[in-house]
Chain A
Amino acid sequence: MIINMGPQHPATHGVLRLVLELDGETVVSVKPIIGYLHTGIEKNCEYRSWMQAIAYVTRADYLSPLFNELAYCLGVERLLGIDAPPRAQALRVMLTELNRIASHLVYVATTGMELGAVSVMLYGFRERERILEIFEMITGLRMNHAFIRIGGLAMDLPEGVEEKIRDFLEVMPRRLDEYEKLLSHNPIWVERNLGVGYLAPERAIELSTTGPVLRASGIAKDVRKDEPYCGFEQYDFDVVTRTDSDCYARYEVRMEEMRQSMRIVGQALDSLPGGPVMVEDPKFKWPARLKVGPDGIGNSEEYVEHILGGSMEALIHHFKMVTEGVAVPAGEVYQAVESPRGELGLYVVSDGGYRPYRVHVRDPSFVNLQSFRDQVVGQMVSDVIAIGAALDPVMGGVDR
């Protein structure tokens, strides 16, 4: 029997469509059909200035927008040969690790919902909300921030946000213990995850899977440790691995990674260096002084006053930087960062112009989805839901 699951199915994690061939309740074959959320992000980038493209790439994997921005900006910075100042680097680490916790919380929440543990769904989204509030304070937006910029960050931390993050770091470990009390020995959770979705380590490497899926198969590949960026070598954290290669191991990896991320956020806050958050060179620096307003980031009134009423040179400079932007020397880079779902790589090509020549997003959800077939064939149809949830694909990233 052939059944169609999705694209509008509550348990397929967004608009993922699966065509399943069944023999009784056993899956004989599966064909994932994707592309429902394709928005042409890569093509759009080619028609924008280097700076504008940030607002496009951030929308690819919408649960980890800061990682998309970070990978893109690090890539362009390498092409330009500039480095963001130390404070910006530390804040990038802090923001992306908070983002990782938020993203893993959505995994716990949606997986809970899909496997029938609805209270976990509510708790997961409740805690994620705290992180989104922190993001809203800092960037003005809850998602798709376009806050990490080429050469640094859009602006510095606002007043009072550090306490908010410290509050979160104090509350969150207790909440994680609560989730584990609810789930780790819950017979239904264990029954539906333990031993389900086995992926042999060799096969996981062959299929280019990354992130928690690969680490749950016992392979400690983590870009933060292997090829540190933004000063990750200064932070003390562990790469979490498990060896069972099943959905339960992936759950354990993600829970432990949230604890590790909190360690990193704490260290970043404690050792936050002073100084600017954007390169000083006016050739690369975004000219405007920005401010968080009620609808996100905008120019501050003083700055508008300055360019319109004060300085003609500043107005010309602003106009040139905003409309034309920066020419990036010809070349190509592949910049990888460790996103919540694995290796997020941005292949950025420049022909020396004011616009990207090519931006390719190697999205971990897209590549990890290939391992679906290996995991579900021969399993029960109900396991398809658990396996899909443990892969944690974000369709915005898969389809781009």
Chain B
Amino acid sequence: MTPEELVERLGPRFDDISLAHGEVTVVTTRERLVEQLVALKGDPELGFDFLADVSGTDWPDRDLRFWVAYHLYSIEGKHRLRLKVGVPENDVHVPTITEVFPGADFLEREVYDMLGVEFDGHPDMRRILLPEDWDGHPHRKDEELGGVRTQYKGGAFIPPIDQRLHK
């Protein structure tokens, strides 16, 4: 299915649908996320049976600060769809989609680890890449690159350029 056909098919189902760079993006809400994924997966013509990716982005200036993007793919129809969900800063929770796509397990854990978005109902919601006692979520825009305390005596990673003291 071409992206244009996809927009036509999905238009009635989503209020916010856009086509850019040959990719279809739809925006949905946390409340309707799982229900819509089940529908997209079950629709015989769309057949989005493969979850390619889950990732998160931090936009501190927006009303909904965190955005989780789900990239779906149809093995039969060879078309892709991006589904995005916004999450406010004061309630960083999204329902898990591991019931629909078990392959979301590690990917959701990575988003939690890096951005602090919690996936409710996930079977094992722990950090995945960073140590379990790590403070903070490094992909948030207010976390600086570098200057992070390390376990070495008196050690810290080199601070970012604009924070270095040039003596």
Interface residues of A (CB under 8 A from B): 34-35, 38, 40, 42-44, 46-47, 78-79, 205-209, 219, 221, 226-227, 331-334, 336, 343, 345, 347, 349, 357-358, 360, 362, 366-367, 369-370, 399-400
Contacts and interface: CB of A to CB of B under 8 A. Distances in A.
Nearest to A44: B145
Contact of B57 (A38, A331, A349): A349
Contact of A208 (B51, B58, B82): B51
Interface in B35-72: 49-53, 55, 57-58, 69, 71
Contacts of B57: 349, 357-358
B129 A399 contact: yes
Interface stretch (B9-17, B26-34, B85-93, B98-106): B98-106
A332 B59 CA distance: 14
15 contacts: A40-B145, A42-B139, A43-B145, A205-B49, A205-B75, A207-B102, A208-B50, A208-B104, A221-B50, A332-B25, A332-B69, A334-B52, A334-B82, A369-B106, A370-B105
A27 to B, nearest CB: 18
Contacts of A207: 102-103
Given A42-B139, A44-B145, A336 B52 contact: yes
Contacts of B165: none
A208 B21 contact: no
A311 B128 CA distance: 52
Nearest to A33: B128
Contacts of B50: 205, 208, 221
A333 B75 contact: no
For the complex, would chain B's binding face be called helix, strand, loop or mixed by DSSP majority?
mixed
Contacts of A331: 20-21
A360 B129 contact: no
A46 B75 contact: no
Interface residues of B, number: 37
B129 A206 contact: no
Given A40-B145, A47-B160, A349-B57, A206 B102 contact: yes
B100 to A, nearest CB: 9
Contacts of A369: 106
Given A40-B145, A333-B23, A347-B71, A208 B103 contact: yes
Contact of A334 (B53, B102, B130): B53
B53 A347 contact: yes
Contacts of A43: 138-139, 145
A197 B52 CA distance: 23
Contact of B145 (A38, A46, A345, A358): A46
A333 B55 CA distance: 12
Q: Kindly name the residue among B52, B78, B101 whose own CB sees the greatest number of chain A CB atoms within 10 A.
A: B52
B44 to A, nearest CB: 16
B69 A347 contact: yes
B155 interface: no
A367 B138 contact: no
Given A35-B131, A40-B138, A367-B103, A360 B21 contact: no
B125 interface: no
A208 B103 CA distance: 5
A36 to B, nearest CB: 9
Q: Kindly name the residue among B23, B52, B71, B103 whose own CB sees the greatest number of chain A CB atoms within 10 A.
A: B103
Contact of A34 (B51, B69, B128, B139): B128
A227 B71 contact: no
Query: Ordered nearest first, which 5 A-B pairs have the shortest CB separation?
Result: A208-B103, A360-B55, A35-B129, A362-B53, A207-B103
Contacts of A47: 145, 160
A44 B80 CA distance: 28
B52 to A, nearest CB: 6
Contacts of B129: 34-35, 38, 399-400
Contacts of A333: 21, 23
A394 to B, nearest CB: 15
